[in-house]
Each structure stands twice: as C-alpha cells, then as structure tokens.
Amino acid sequence: MFHLNRRHALAGLAATAVSGRALAQPSTFTTNMYGGRWENTWREKVLPPFAKTIGRSVTLDIGLGARWVANFRAAGKDNPPFSALMLNERFTAMLRDEGYFETLTPALVPNLADVVPSAKLKGDTAVSAMLAPMVIAYRTDLVKIPPRAWADLWRPDLKGQIGLYAITNSAAVMLALWAAEHFGKGITDIDTAVKKFAELKPFPQIAYSAQLTPLLVQGQIAVAPIDLGEIVPLKQKGVPLDFVVPEEGMMIFDQSFSIRPTAPTRPQRASTSTMC
C-alpha cells in the first residue's frame, strides 16, 4: 500500500525551500484516482496529511486508465494534465514507451532506496506501490453451490447471474487472457476467449469495481470477479456475501506510480516525488 513517510517527504522538500517560499499562492497539486472506495479512502486518509506535508492543496482526477492515457497523449509530453500518475502496468507501458515518464532514482524519490527490486518497473520509470487481489465473490443466499474456480463462471446454473468488468478495465483483459489459455490454444487465442465470453450472455459489463459492488449488494447479480477490498467491508456489515480464491490462481490489480519529466518548478517536482 502507499505509505507517506513524513521524514522522507520533508527531506525531499528541503532542497526546494527557497523557491517554495517564493510562491505566495502555491498551485494545486493534481493526481489521478479511481472512484468509489479508492477515492473515498484517499480523500479521508491520504490527501489530508499529504497536502499538509507539501504545503499545497491537492485535487484528484477521477477516472480510469484508458481515459488518462488518452488525455496524456492529447496534451503531449511537454504539457501533461498532471505530474504524478497511478496506473496498472498495461497502461504504464503505453506511456513509458512514448517517453512520458521520468527515470526514478533515490535522489529524486528517497523511499526508492527501500523498495524491493521486483517493484521497480522497466527502466525505473514506475514503482509498484499497491496490489489489489481479485477473487470470485458470490451471494450466499442466491448461490447454492459456491464457485471454486474461474472456469465455474461458465457453469450452467450461474448463467444470467454473473457480472463482469468491461474490456477497458485491466481485470477484463486478465480474464480474457486466462480464457484464451484455458479454453483455447494459448494467451494469444483471443478469438476463442471472445466466443467463450459470448456464451455467458446476458451479463452487465461494468467499468470499475465501485459500479460492480452495488449490483452484488442489490442482488441484481449473484457472482462476480472483483477485487477483495470491495467484499470484506460488505461482509463485515452483514451483507450475505462471501468469496473464494480461484483454484487456478489469483489475479491481481497492480498500481504503479510514475512522474512526468517536465514539472515546471522545483517545488512541484519535489511534490511529485513525495507522492511516489
């Protein structure tokens, strides 16, 4: 999970103290975030101490990876929409290959010295900070035989009761690759994956988890692949939900942070480094 280390944050800002004081009206620091539980947690737990540390107001750009990538490309490398960007690796790779990200070093991001090598992504242009495991959630009052595997999504008794992510979500891509390998000739056999998902119709396709959760709570669907963090709080509140870790293995949402190389002022650059 993202960890704001105040000592490192202040150390990163110390070198910019003089230029920082010159800004009578510090500009707002913008970063991106998903909606729903993600947004609420950041607004309540992360942003207040972060804003206090950097001495600037902070705002969130709420959306999804596909839109953020499109916005960065539309704005161009010299004028991106904001300075710090959180993405799944599939989206990070798109902008990384096009030169949108700074090479991260311990001098720029002090906490990087404590990061395990596997969390540093290609070219040190991003660092993984959060992982969200994806499970199969189900309504205990609507499903007689709990699913045990990803393949159980195709059980006849569950037809018409399943909710899925739209293909713009990384979870849908992961499921498509799994289906291509499990039912077809390998992960590149997308035609087979598409045919297999067509067998599940009708089903709602949801952009992100915060839109999928209400369908489970309301009983509009009975089974869904979803990140675990959405389900545990609902179980604790007494919603008749449970989950299983699929026997074929767990899929995981990764969230990595990158920064742009053209931050216009040293304080802004230091603020971006602190966010990472």
CB contact set of 54 (below 8 Å; sequence gap of 6+): 9, 13, 29, 267, 270, 271, 274
| Percent of the chain that is helix, strand, coil (3-state, to 5) | 45, 20, 35
CB contact set of 18 (below 8 Å; sequence gap of 6+): none
Rounded-to-integer distance, Cα 213 and Cα 189, Å = 30
* pLDDT tens digits, 109-130: 888 888 889 888 888 889 988 8
* pLDDT tens digits, 11-52: 333 323 323 333 344 588 888 999 888 899 999 998 999 888
Contact between 28 and 57 under an 8 Å Cβ cutoff? The reply is yes
What's this model's pTM, rounded to 2 decimal places?
A: 0.79
Domain covering 131-253 assigned CATH 3.40.109.10 in the classification: no
List average pLDDT for each run of 10 residues in the chain, which is 276 residues long.
41 32 59 89 91 88 92 91 88 91 85 86 88 95 97 97 93 94 96 96 91 95 95 95 95 89 55 54
Domain boundaries, the chain: 6-130+254-275, 131-253
Give me the sign of the Cα torsion angle 159, 160, 166, 167.
Answer: positive
Domain covering 6-130+254-275 assigned CATH 2.40.40.20 in the classification: no
